[in-house]
Each structure stands twice: as C-alpha cells, then as structure tokens.
Amino acid sequence: MNEFVERILDLPWQEPKRSYEVVIIGGGGHGLATAYYLATRHGLTDVAVVEADYIGSGNTGRNTTIIRANYGIAESVRFYQRALELYATLEEETGCWIMHKTKGLLWLAHTESGLRAERARTLMNQAMGAQTAMVTPEEALALCPHLDLTGGGRYPVLGGSYHSGGATARHDRVVWAYAQGALRRGAHILQHTPVTGLLRDGDRVTGVQTATGPISARIVMSAVAGWSTHVADMAEVRLPIRTHPLQALVTNPYALGFEPIVASSELLCYVSQTARGHMLMGAEFDSQPSYSRASSFEFLSSVSAKITKLLPFMADLRVLRQWAGICDITPDYSPIMGETGVPGFVISTGWGTWGFKAIPAGGEAMAELIATGTTPAMIASFGLDRFARDHAMADQGSAGTR
C-alpha cells in the first residue's frame, strides 16, 4: 500500500457485549484516540466505541489535515503544543504510517491591523514556547516563491507570521492508527450502530440505547461533533454550541514543491499541497447554521477568487472535488472537554473547524479523566462550566483562517 492506493482498515466483526466499563459515542478521531489512550496509558480495555456510520465518516475524514499550535491564548498554545508533540511521534508509537509531514505555516497579513494581529499571535506563541516568528514580505516570498506579493494589486502582502511547526497528516490514517491500536488491545469498535438514547438511573447516565439494544457502562463519553447538542440533550445537558457546515475543495495535481501551508486571516482562506500534488483549500465555516453537507458555488467562487490573487499559478488548475462537514462551534471558539454535571456522562466537543490537530492531546486528556476521575490540568480551563462562570476562552485563532 502507498499513499496513492488507499485500502480501508478492515475491522473484524465483534459481538457487542451488553455492558462495558466505558462507552464512547462517535468513532471520529477524538472518540478513537480516547479509546487508544485508555488502553495504552491506563490499561483500560473494557471499552466500546459506538459509531453511527463507519469510523472516520464524520469531520475527521473530511478535514484539510492541518496541524499547528500557533493559537492566541496561553492555555490553547500549551494544549496544541502537546498535540504537535504526540503527532510527531505517533507513527513510531503506533507503527502506522500516517504520512505526517512538517511543512511550516505562513500566515499572511495585508493591512496594518492584520500585521498587529500576527504580532500579537507571535508574541504569545514565543512566550509559550511555540515556534512562531514574524516575517517580512521578502522572507515570505523566500518561503513560498509562488506568492504574488502585490496580491493581484488587491491584497498586498505586508508581512506575516511563520509557524515552523505547522504540519499535515493523512486524516484517514490517523483514524485507522488509533482504531487499530485500540482494537489490538481489546477495545470494541461497533460501526453502523447509532446511539438513539441514553440509559438513566435517576440523575446518572448508565449506558446507551442503540438499534440493537441497550449497552450499559460506568462512563459514557460523547464525541459526536456536529451532533453534540442532540446527544447532550439525551442527558438533559444544554450545550452552547451551534452546528455550521464547513467546506473544502481540492484541485488537480500540480508539480510537487509547494512547501508551506499558506493562510490569510483577512481573506479567510488557506491552502496546502497534498502528497499527491493536489492543492487543498479551506475557508471559514458557512454563516448559516445547518446540518447540510452540501457544497455551494458561493464557497467555490469566493475561495478561488481570493486564492488566485495570492497564488496566480492556481488560476490554471481545475477543481476536482468539493465537500463539507458539519462542525460544533462554541461562542468562544475553544473546545469543551470534561465533566457535564451529570454523573457518568462526559463530553469532548466544540472542536469546530479546528479539532483534527487536537486529536492526540484531546484523546490523551479525556482518557486520563475517565481512568482517574480527575480532570487533567491541561484541559481544566476548557470545561463546560466556564460559560456559567462567565470565563470564556475567547480564541478566534482556533479557526483555520483566524
């Protein structure tokens, strides 16, 4: 198998048990990484991941694969630095080739206020030990010779920041690596098994209801991204989350050699090159909340118009595919991890448009919480209770375009 010939992970059929120590709803990156770290870090393998469709069918298998830690607040930079570290050693740890590649991330500014935002990001990153530095237009050009510094006469490049730790990894392979690692150690992965309700004993959540019957558990974790409010509602937990579609598109292959990931906060778009040479682009989420995974011409025309001003060679490429996922967006653009106030029910959500890069650190932290009953310091600020305490973790730097 190579990167051009994908063979989907062949999951063995497992007879579901009626009871597990832990049931995780959602077989995306976060659910599977939690199962993996429960097994590898805590020896807890009496775990089932219950997935409505096939594993990776949600946002984890639809994202633009960007991994970075250049966030805007200290707690986030620390958390995503941990994710970067875990990603860098994931191939060695799991023995699976996830096609991890450090490329560097060039974040462009086109106005004075854009430059100020990049300066603030850079100072925060440096204070927290993340590898980010300001660059001049000439330095930006040296990093990405394809750039038109005049921005087509419309979006001049005045400078920006460069995050040398920026990387990509093949999304499906991350899913398969965690799934395989959890399975080998005895966890169950039940595909095509939607959770339709939660079992309750008084206040406590004691398991899940599925089409094939009830499954009881000491702890139930929800990691269902765009469906988070539905599942939380089953536990009578109200989440401050809205579901918005996020679209992406990819062109035909171009000569390999487009090294860094290039992003612009002011143009709200970003681009990188895949291992096969395709140019992969993303933008901001659709403003209208929706559960639709339809692609729109509006997205296609707006991203193409902006990106071809910065990178004129892309005007000669053809768009091959366009798709969407549905994202769980919080009011402060930070995730929600941890306890919910309902005994036996924990959540990992609010990953919005930025949660692929978080998968290893999110999974590791949630596994620690489930196994020890104590919230790790790394995620203590990201609890659901922060909204009631009026302590939002406002960080628009979470979104791939901010």
Ligand X SMILES: Cc1cc2nc3c(=O)[nH]c(=O)nc-3n(C[C@H](O)[C@H](O)[C@H](O)COP(=O)(O)OP(=O)(O)OC[C@H]3O[C@@H](n4cnc5c(N)ncnc54)[C@H](O)[C@@H]3O)c2cc1C
Binding residues (CB under 6 A) for ligand X: these are: 25-31, 50-53, 57-60, 62-66, 194-195, 223-225, 227, 231, 246-248, 282, 325, 327, 351-357, 400
Radius of gyration of the chain (CA): 21
Residue with smaller CB distance to ligand X, 155 or 270: 270
The CA angle 83-59-209, to the nearest 5 degrees, is 105
Q: Rounded to the nearest whole angstrom, what is the least distance from the CB of residue 61 to ligand X in the complex? A: 7
Q: Rounded to the nearest whole angstrom, what is the least distance from the CB of residue 163 to ligand X in the complex? A: 13
Q: How many distinct helices (H) and strands (E) make up the chain?
A: 10, 19
Q: Which residue's structure tokens are 């729109």?
A: 296
Q: Rounded to the nearest whole angstrom, what is the least distance from the CB of residue 300 to ligand X in the complex? A: 13
Residue with smaller CB distance to ligand X, 46 or 172: 172
Which sign does the torsion angle of CA 323, 327, 333, 334 carry? negative
Looking at residue 211, the DSSP 8-state letter turns out to be T
CB 77 within 8 A of CB 197: no
Residue with smaller CB distance to ligand X, 64 or 132: 64
Report d(CA 48, CA 27) in Å as an integer: 10
Q: Rounded to the nearest whole angstrom, what is the least distance from the CB of residue 192 to ligand X in the complex? A: 9
The helix/strand/coil state of 336 is: strand
Question: Can you say whether residue 192 is alpha, beta or left, with left for phi > 0 and alpha for psi between -120 and 50 degrees?
Answer: left
Nearest to 333 by CA among 392, 267, 272, 256: 392
Nearest to 331 by CA among 382, 379, 401, 392: 392
CB 167 within 8 A of CB 87: yes
CB 362 within 8 A of CB 355: yes
Report d(CA 299, CA 46) in Å as an integer: 44
Query: Shortest Cβ contact with ligand X: which residue?
Result: 28
Report d(CA 27, CA 331) in Å as an integer: 25
Q: Rounded to the nearest whole angstrom, what is the least distance from the CB of residue 48 to ligand X in the complex? A: 11
Residue with smaller CB distance to ligand X, 23 or 140: 23
Structure tokens at 250: 């990819």
Q: Rounded to the nearest whole angstrom, what is the least distance from the CB of residue 105 to ligand X in the complex? A: 11
Residue with smaller CB distance to ligand X, 50 or 98: 50
Report d(CA 318, CA 309) in Å as an integer: 16
Q: Rounded to the nearest whole angstrom, what is the least distance from the CB of residue 66 to ligand X in the complex? A: 3
Residue with smaller CB distance to ligand X, 158 or 215: 215
Q: Which residues lie below 8 Å from residue 238, measured CB to CB, with a gap of 6+?
A: 232
Residue with smaller CB distance to ligand X, 142 or 294: 294
Q: Rounded to the nearest whole angstrom, what is the least distance from the CB of residue 149 to ligand X in the complex? A: 25
Identity of the amino acid at 203: D
CB 244 within 8 A of CB 329: yes
Q: Rounded to the nearest whole angstrom, what is the least distance from the CB of residue 224 to ligand X in the complex? A: 4
Q: Rounded to the nearest whole angstrom, what is the least distance from the CB of residue 172 to ligand X in the complex? A: 11
Q: Rounded to the nearest whole angstrom, what is the least distance from the CB of residue 100 to ligand X in the complex? A: 13
Identity of the amino acid at 338: G
Residue with smaller CB distance to ligand X, 88 or 149: 88
Residue with smaller CB distance to ligand X, 159 or 207: 207
Residue with smaller CB distance to ligand X, 68 or 386: 68
Report d(CA 162, CA 325) in Å as an integer: 28
The helix/strand/coil state of 391 is: coil
Residue with smaller CB distance to ligand X, 144 or 223: 223
